[in-house]
Homo-oligomer: A and B are copies of this chain.
Amino acid sequence: MSFMTTLTLTPVTEAAACCAPLTREALSADQADDLARSLKALADPARLRLISIVAASEGQEACVCDLIDPVGLGQSTVSHHLKILMDAGFLTRTKRGTWAYYRLVPGALDSLSRLLITA
């Protein structure tokens, strides 16, 4: 399980960059796998809230300590969710001192969104 994150990494931007929307033509198995991986990273209430809090924060960034109370989960759980969102290409991390600041990857959500549109 621990090695999975380094192997199957297929950032949203890459998965979304290539191809026609979901409803244009039948998806290949590989395309479906990639898209499902991106969606799965998003398909959790805690992770959705993390993203929305980061996006709504000052300077579009937030450190872990700012995120723990709002989502009401343990620190290790929050770190875990942030890692999943990073691996999927939705967030980036910048360390400054002891703090880790998370920030939205600019086009990530949009390119995923574009894939869902029924052309």
Name A residues whose Cβ lies closer than 8 Å to a Cβ of B.
22-27, 29, 32-33, 35-36, 39-40, 42-49, 51-53, 55-56, 70, 104, 109-110, 112-114, 116-118
CA distance A46 to B59 in the complex (A): 39
Cβ–Cβ contact A104 & B118, under 8 A: yes
Q: A25-B52, A52-B25, A56-B24 are in contact. Are A113 and B104 (CB under 8 A)?
A: no
Number of copies of this kind of chain in the complex: 2
Cβ–Cβ contact A109 & B36, under 8 A: no
Residues of B within 8 A of A117 (CB): 109-110, 113
Contacting A43 at CB < 8 Å: which of B24, B26, B39, B45? B39
Contacting A25 at CB < 8 Å: which of B42, B43, B56? B56
Residues of B within 8 A of A113 (CB): 113-114, 116-117
Cβ–Cβ contact B56 & A29, under 8 A: no
Q: A48-B32, A49-B32 are in contact. Are A26 and B70 (CB under 8 A)?
A: yes
CA distance A51 to B36 in the complex (A): 12
